[in-house]
Amino acid sequence: MSAAPVLPQPFGKAGDPPRALPTPEGVPLRLELASLGERASAHLLDQFIIQLTSLVLVLCMIFAHLGGDEGKGSSSRGFLLAILTVGLFFARTFYFIVFEAGPRGATPGKRWAKIRVIDRSGGPLTLSQVVTRNVMRDVEFWVPLIVIIAPSALFGPDVPGWAGWVAGAWALLVFLLPWWNKDRLRAGDMVGGTLVVRSPAVLLLDDLGSGTQLRRGQPHVFSSDQLAHYGAFELQTLEAVLRRGNGLLNAEAITTVAESIKKRIGWTTQVTNDFWFLRDFYAAQRAHLEHRLGLGQRRAHKDDKPGK
């Protein structure tokens, strides 16, 4: 399959809808496309690493050329030169291939940008796919660059002007491909059958819905009327606020959120600690919404009223 079906947007997440990747186990995976900015920065970092390595190799080459006296040493110098030439070539050609064919499916640059390459249809990413997508890279990146900077280097001086224009337009077109399709495929991705997705490192944090021993004072109790105001989006926004902790930096946000919730649900009793009030409200609200969810009534946000 080519274009992955689109899963519903998770509540409260802006940006692209995620792509669903079918699995043999039957649970589609929800993957977010890498943005072009992420991919560009990953590529630039990779290019930087490659060019730096090349520079070091070239410097070695120059020293190999200078060092040693004529005659006897020149043979071993030639071998060294050969090794460096081939080394340079392999570093440039196989850098992307070796890293992307590895278990992480990502070059150092991609790992830094927290993105990776996967097979577009959810199968294993094979070596030949990785080779194809990276062989295309030259045509997509360097050729347009040369066309823009020094067209005569590519076409030679004898090529008629119109041919240069046609080739230039085509090179630019290929370069701009990722902007023009919804899966942000570059030519190499199309031919390789690959997709570049985000792979952030998500830590499993404490469950805010479970009771805690650290609390002080009586738990706040909410009536079911008071829990009927919000949906999942608001719940998860509250979660994000609570995850930032009970510290001084977060105090203002906690107070603001607590005040607006109290106003909305009609809470009149005096509250000694806004943070624990919110923790209790979060737990109660989540219990309420998850109970409804179990009954098949998913409420996405406060204006979404299922079953009414």
Partner 1 sequence: MADTQPQTQLPSVRFRREREESWRALEELLGTLESSGARSLRVRELRRLATLHRAALSSLSVARAIALDRNLLDYLENLAARSHCAIHRGGESLLEGLDRFFSREFPSAVRALKWQLALASLLFVLGTAIAHLETTRDLSNFDDYVSENVAQGRDPGSTVEELREILYSPKEDKGALTAFGSFLFTHNTGVGLLSLALGFAAGVPSGLLTFDNGLMLGGFSGLYTARGLGPDFWAWVLPHGVTEILALLLCCAAGFSLGQGLLFAGPHTRLESLKLRGREAGVVALGVVLMFCIAGGIEGVFRQTVLDPAVRCAVAASTALAWGVYFTRVGRR
**Which positions from 67 through 86 interact with partner 1, judged by CB under 8 A?**
74-83, 85-86
CA distance 20 to 17: 10
Query: With binding defined as CB under 8 A, does residue 247 bind partner 1?
Result: no
φ and ψ at residue 29, rounded to 5 degrees: -90, 145
Q: Which two tokens stand for residue 283?
A: 């737990």
> Using N-to-C axis directions, what is the helix angle for 127-149 and 161-176, rounded to 10°?
130
DSSP state of 250: T
- Cβ burial of 10 (10 Å; 0-12, 13-18, 19+) is middle
Beta-ladder partners of 6: 19
Using CB under 8 A, count the residues that bind partner 1.
Answer: 87
Query: With binding defined as CB under 8 A, does residue 208 bind partner 1?
Result: yes
Query: What CA–CA distances, in Å, run from 151 to 111, 141, 160, 168?
Result: 34, 14, 12, 8
DSSP state of 157: T
Interface with partner 1 in residues 176-195 (CB under 8 A): 185, 187, 190-193
Residues 137-156 vs partner 1: string with x where CB under 8 A? -xx----------------x
Q: CA 55: distance to chain centroid?
A: 30
Place of tokens 């064919």: 101
Instruction: Please identify which residue in 104, 229, 264, 305 interacts with partner 1, judged by CB under 8 A.
Output: 104
Query: With binding defined as CB under 8 A, does residue 174 bind partner 1?
Result: yes
Query: With binding defined as CB under 8 A, does residue 232 bind partner 1?
Result: yes
What is the smallest separation between the CB atom of 272 and partner 1, expressed in angstroms? 20
- 194 versus 263: smaller Cβ distance to partner 1: 194
What is the smallest separation between the CB atom of 103 and partner 1, expressed in angstroms? 5
- 263 versus 296: smaller Cβ distance to partner 1: 296
What is the smallest separation between the CB atom of 75 and partner 1, expressed in angstroms? 4
**CB-based contact 143:151 (threshold 8 Å):** no
Query: With binding defined as CB under 8 A, does residue 2 bind partner 1?
Result: yes
Query: With binding defined as CB under 8 A, does residue 240 bind partner 1?
Result: yes
Query: With binding defined as CB under 8 A, does residue 214 bind partner 1?
Result: no
Place of tokens 């496309």: 33
- 224 versus 263: smaller Cβ distance to partner 1: 224
**CB-based contact 252:246 (threshold 8 Å):** no
Interface with partner 1 in residues 18-57 (CB under 8 A): 21, 23-25, 27, 29-31
What is the smallest separation between the CB atom of 201 and partner 1, expressed in angstroms? 8
Query: With binding defined as CB under 8 A, does residue 254 bind partner 1?
Result: no
Place of tokens 């603001």: 256
Query: With binding defined as CB under 8 A, does residue 124 bind partner 1?
Result: yes
Instruction: Please identify which residue in 287, 297, 304, 306 interacts with partner 1, judged by CB under 8 A.
Output: 287
Query: With binding defined as CB under 8 A, does residue 284 bind partner 1?
Result: yes
CA distance 238 to 223: 19
CA distance 238 to 240: 5
